[in-house]
């Protein structure tokens, strides 16, 4: 038997570790979630430290209110306007308000840390075969490897560190990094030579040049990045935070100066009531959830196997107008694959298939494997035993052909059309009249023709094509509906570029594109006030990935591309940008929706607490009690309790995000204003009334 085809090899070597059942997976996820919740409860208490709380000024103000109301009963400042139990109850409610806000943030951080812990577990000790200068191999610990070392990894061994393949072709299981069980092919040269430490070689062998020092590997960077606690605030988040702080400061001034006016009217307000008023006036809801929204946004991106270097990158993705895509390896597979076979002269198709297969059985290049796969998929007959005892002729740049010399003296060759034509003539054969015409037609369609000949007899052409990845057209249609323009950049000639662009369904394309041209396209779009995303995988894409507002590098690409980008797609799927854009929009929409809700629900609290506050001294203010709350004390407590419990009730929404549906900005604004604006007014009226009915039973 000959070697298995590329497809068979991938199917045979898909999974290294035994798969767990669905029930076990669900149970493990449930236990992990329970552990995250337990840790979040613990952290919500530890975060009460004022040194930590001051980073969130809104909730810090609430915490100060808690401390004041806690010590108030032990001072001479306590008022006789309210019952003795009022201050302790207010203090308790304020404490839970802060705890709920801390819990929301800790829960979001906990998910990121859980992912980091799972990655840390994958960093087990690996032994490496270090290649000395004389070619000998020495067994060393992976932690001893440094940048510039060369290691040898064979089938069944773990790759000890990040590096570049300098020799060999092998199938690598990257499930430890990407979560995908299907192996990927890695080979020296090109855009598929980058390997990651902790992955496993499942076939053949590789010689790898280590490109990172201990503690600087890709996994180390992933661990640092997914720990949400280290996330920096984005400009948009900082701007919103400034607005919320301004509102807090304004209401603080109002509450502080209020006793002056009430003193003029001849009565005084209890300090606990003033604190309750302040807490209800300031935007505590969004203040308590703001950090959780940002951290959860990065967490959602990670769940799609996209590693975001910062929250800013996720947020910028929500406003993307243009996406620049590299063709090779991004829109297309990157390797030329057999598309069809073309007979020339009077030759039969089955004969072309037979000799194409024979010439490719020992050819381990992607093109050679694709020929075998194509012939097998079409069920064309060929005898694999023909190659027994034969001598493989590898491809060489000077000959531009490869093939095999069979045991009976038959010479089979495949290669560049002109090279094969010259070889056939040297063998005394003739060239069918339509050979060059059909070759030119393949080239005009954006393909690459290879000729196949046997003993000076030219049989036909192999039509190689850089195939567009499945589902690309549908994905680009989705981007178009989202109002995002797609531009394909390629070094191919205009004819080939136009063919691929039409097949993929991109809006525009730039042919014969050099690295500096990609940067110029991005700068031109940015000069128009647009935010630009760039996806790529090659070293030549690195400058453009760095220039783009959102640079999404493929994990299968080069180290230079991954270093330049601010996002890395662990699945190497360029259309993943759609999920990234959707999550970015989700983040912005969630923040906007909860801000709208937070401000809107203050209206109901005003109608509850302000009349109640003055009713204690001026009974005539009862006319403003439109909610018909039981008493001034119950009204204040109900508003305060609602203000506290709405935070944990909104945590699932903050963590999951608002569902994004492609629609115009105006339609989106109307929808959110109705749901979260109108809803933010109605829900608190109902909630405060229900809480008041319960509170009234105990006072």
pLDDT attached to residue 4:
43
Q: How far is CA 164 from CA 57, 158, 500, in A?
A: 48, 15, 29
Beta-strand pair 531-536/550-554: parallel
pLDDT attached to residue 180:
47
Q: Could you give the count of Cα atoms lying within 13 Å of 120 in the half-sphere of its Cβ?
A: 11
pTM greater than the 0.85 cutoff: no
Q: Is 227 left (phi over 0), alpha (psi -120 to 50) or beta?
A: beta
Q: Which residue has the higher pLDDT, 637 or 28?
A: 637
Tell me what the mean pLDDT of segment 638-666 comes to. Answer: 81
218 known ligand binder:
no
Indicate if the pLDDT at residue 95 is higher than 80. Answer: yes
Strand, coil or helix: 493: coil
399 known ligand binder:
yes
pLDDT attached to residue 10:
38
Terminal CA-CA length for the chain? 88
Q: Which residue has the higher pLDDT, 545 or 31?
A: 545
pLDDT tens per residue, range 382-409: 988 888 889 998 887 678 889 999 998 8
Residues with active-site annotation: 326
pLDDT mean across residues, the chain: 79
541 known ligand binder:
yes
| Alpha-helix residue ranges (DSSP H) falling in 123-234 | 175-178, 218-226
Q: Is 174 left (phi over 0), alpha (psi -120 to 50) or beta?
A: alpha
Q: Is 682 left (phi over 0), alpha (psi -120 to 50) or beta?
A: alpha
Tell me what the mean pLDDT of segment 647-673 comes to. Answer: 77
Phi/psi at 539 (5° precision): -60, -35
Tell me what the mean pLDDT of segment 307-312 comes to. Answer: 71
Q: How far is CA 584 from CA 235, 301, 589, in A?
A: 14, 9, 9
Indicate if the pLDDT at residue 673 is higher than 90. Answer: no
398 known ligand binder:
yes
Confidence category of residue 66, pLDDT binned at 50, 70, 90: very high
State how far the Cα of 642 lies from the Cα of 638, in Å rounded to an integer: 6
| Alpha-helix residue ranges (DSSP H) falling in 162-217 | 175-178
Tell me what the mean pLDDT of segment 112-140 comes to. Answer: 68
Q: How far is CA 317 from CA 266, 569, 577, in A?
A: 57, 14, 8
DSSP result, 256-304 = HHHHHHHHHTT----HHHHHHHHHHHS-HHHHHHHHHHHHHHHHHHHHT
State how far the Cα of 401 lies from the Cα of 384, in Å rounded to an integer: 20
pLDDT attached to residue 451:
93
pLDDT attached to residue 15:
37
506 DSSP assignment: -
State how far the Cα of 340 lies from the Cα of 461, in Å rounded to an integer: 9
Q: Which residue has the higher pLDDT, 432 or 327?
A: 432
Tell me what the mean pLDDT of segment 129-143 comes to. Answer: 82
**Crossing angle of helices 86-122 and 632-656, rounded to 10°:** 10
pLDDT tens per residue, range 452-501: 999 989 999 999 887 777 778 888 888 888 788 889 887 777 877 888 88
State how far the Cα of 130 lies from the Cα of 140, in Å rounded to an integer: 7
400 known ligand binder:
yes
Quote the strand ranges of 369-447, DSSP E.
391-393, 401-405, 411-416
pLDDT attached to residue 199:
77
Q: How far is CA 120 from CA 89, 497, 568, in A?
A: 44, 44, 19
State how far the Cα of 304 lies from the Cα of 299, in Å rounded to an integer: 9
The share of the chain scoring above pLDDT 70, in percent, equals 82
Q: Which residue has the higher pLDDT, 561 or 113?
A: 561
Q: Could you give the count of Cα atoms lying within 13 Å of 12 in the half-sphere of its Cβ?
A: 10
509 known ligand binder:
no
Residue 195: its H or E element: strand 194-195
What totals of helices (H) and strands (E) does the chain contain, helices first? 24, 20
b/e per residue, 25-51, with b = 16+ CB within 10 A? eeeeeeeeeeebeebbeebbeebeeee
397 known ligand binder:
yes
Confidence category of residue 364, pLDDT binned at 50, 70, 90: confident
pLDDT tens per residue, range 7-62: 344 344 333 333 334 454 455 445 556 777 788 888 889 999 998 888 888 889 99
Indicate if the pLDDT at residue 122 is higher than 70. Answer: no
Q: Could you give the count of Cα atoms lying within 13 Å of 692 in the half-sphere of its Cβ?
A: 22
Query: How large is the C-alpha radius of gyration of the chain?
Result: 34
363 known ligand binder:
yes
401 known ligand binder:
yes
**Are 331 and 499 in contact, with CB atoms under 8 Å apart?**
no
**Are 315 and 583 in contact, with CB atoms under 8 Å apart?**
no
Q: Which residue has the higher pLDDT, 219 or 486?
A: 486
Beta-strand pair 448-454/550-554: unpaired
Instruction: Go through the chain and tell me how many residues it has.
Output: 699
Q: What sign for the dihedral angle of Cα 559, 564, 567, 573?
A: negative
Q: How far is CA 570 from CA 6, 31, 75, 696, in A?
A: 22, 26, 60, 56
> For residue 375, how many other CB atoms are within 10 A of its CB?
24
Q: Which residues pair with 108 in a beta bridge?
A: none
């Amino acid at each position: 038997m000959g070697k298995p085809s590329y497809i068979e090899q991938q199917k045979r070597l898909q999974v290294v570790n035994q798969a767990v059942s669905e029930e076990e997976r669900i149970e493990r996820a449930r236990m992990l979630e329970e552990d995250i919740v337990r840790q979040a409860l613990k952290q919500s208490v530890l975060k009460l430290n004022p040194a930590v709380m001051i980073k969130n000024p809104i909730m810090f103000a609430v915490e100060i209110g808690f401390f004041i109301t806690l010590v108030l009963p032990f001072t001479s400042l306590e008022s006789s306007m309210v019952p003795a139990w009022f201050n302790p109850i207010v203090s308790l409610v304020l404490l839970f308000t802060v705890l709920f806000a801390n819990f929301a943030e800790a829960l979001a951080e906990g998910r990121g840390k859980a992912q980091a812990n799972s990655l840390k577990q994958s960093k087990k000790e690996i032994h490496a075969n270090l290649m000395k200068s004389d070619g000998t191999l020495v067994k060393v610990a992976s932690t001893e490897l440094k940048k510039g070392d060369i290691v040898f990894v064979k089938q069944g061994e773990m790759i000890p560190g990040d590096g570049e393949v300098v020799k060999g072709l092998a199938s690598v299981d990257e499930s430890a990094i990407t979560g995908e069980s299907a192996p990927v092919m890695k080979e020296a040269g090109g855009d598929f030579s980058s390997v990651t430490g902790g992955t496993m070689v499942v076939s053949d062998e590789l010689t790898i040049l280590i490109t990172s020092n201990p503690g600087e590997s890709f996994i180390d960077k992933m661990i640092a990045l997914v720990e949400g606690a280290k996330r920096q605030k984005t400009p948009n988040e900082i701007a919103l935070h400034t607005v919320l702080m301004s509102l807090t400061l304004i209401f603080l001034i109002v509450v502080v100066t209020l006793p002056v006016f009430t003193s003029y009217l001849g009565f005084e307000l209890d300090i606990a009531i003033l604190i309750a008023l302040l807490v209800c006036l300031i935007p505590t809801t969004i203040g308590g959830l703001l950090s959780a929204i940002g951290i959860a946004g990065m967490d959602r991106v990670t769940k799609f196997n996209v590693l975001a270097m910062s929250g800013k990158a996720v947020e910028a993705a929500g406003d993307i107008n243009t996406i620049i895509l590299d063709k090779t390896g991004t829109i297309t597979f990157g390797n030329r694959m057999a598309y069809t076979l073309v007979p020339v002269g009077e030759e039969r198709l089955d004969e072309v298939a037979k000799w194409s297969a024979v010439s490719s059985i020992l050819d381990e290049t992607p093109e050679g494997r694709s020929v075998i796969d194509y012939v097998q998929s079409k069920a064309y007959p060929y005898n694999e035993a023909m190659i027994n005892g034969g001598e493989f002729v590898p491809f060489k740049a000077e000959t531009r052909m490869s093939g095999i010399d069979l045991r009976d003296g038959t010479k089979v060759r495949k290669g560049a059309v002109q090279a094969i034509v010259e070889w056939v003539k040297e063998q005394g054969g003739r060239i069918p009249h339509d050979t060059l015409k059909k070759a030119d037609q393949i080239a005009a369609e954006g393909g690459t023709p290879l000729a196949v000949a046997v003993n000076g007899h030219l049989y036909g052409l192999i039509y190689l094509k850089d195939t567009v990845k499945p589902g690309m057209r549908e994905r680009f249609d989705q981007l178009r509906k989202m109002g995002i323009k797609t531009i394909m950049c390629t070094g191919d000639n205009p004819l080939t570029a136009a063919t691929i662009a039409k097949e993929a369904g991109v809006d525009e394309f730039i042919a014969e594109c050099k690295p500096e041209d990609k940067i110029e396209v991005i700068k031109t779009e940015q000069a128009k006030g647009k935010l630009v995303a760039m996806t790529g995988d090659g070293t030549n894409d690195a400058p453009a990935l760095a220039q783009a507002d959102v640079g999404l590098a493929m994990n299968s690409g080069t180290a230079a591309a991954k270093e330049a980008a601010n996002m890395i797609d662990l699945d190497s799927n360029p259309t993943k940008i759609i999920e990234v854009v959707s999550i970015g929009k989700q983040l912005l929409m969630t923040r906007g929706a909860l801000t709208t809700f937070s401000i809107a629900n203050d209206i109901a609290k005003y109608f509850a607490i302000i009349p109640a506050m003055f009713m204690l001294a001026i009974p005539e203010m009862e006319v403003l009690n439109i909610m018909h709350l039981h008493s001034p004390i119950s009204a204040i407590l109900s508003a305060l309790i609602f203000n506290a419990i709405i935070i944990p009730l909104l945590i699932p929404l903050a963590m999951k995000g608002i569902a994004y549906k492609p629609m115009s900005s105006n339609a989106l604004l109307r929808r959110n204003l109705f749901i979260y604006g109108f809803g933010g007014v109605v829900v608190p009226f109902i909630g405060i009334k229900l809480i008041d009915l319960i509170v009234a039973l105990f006072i």
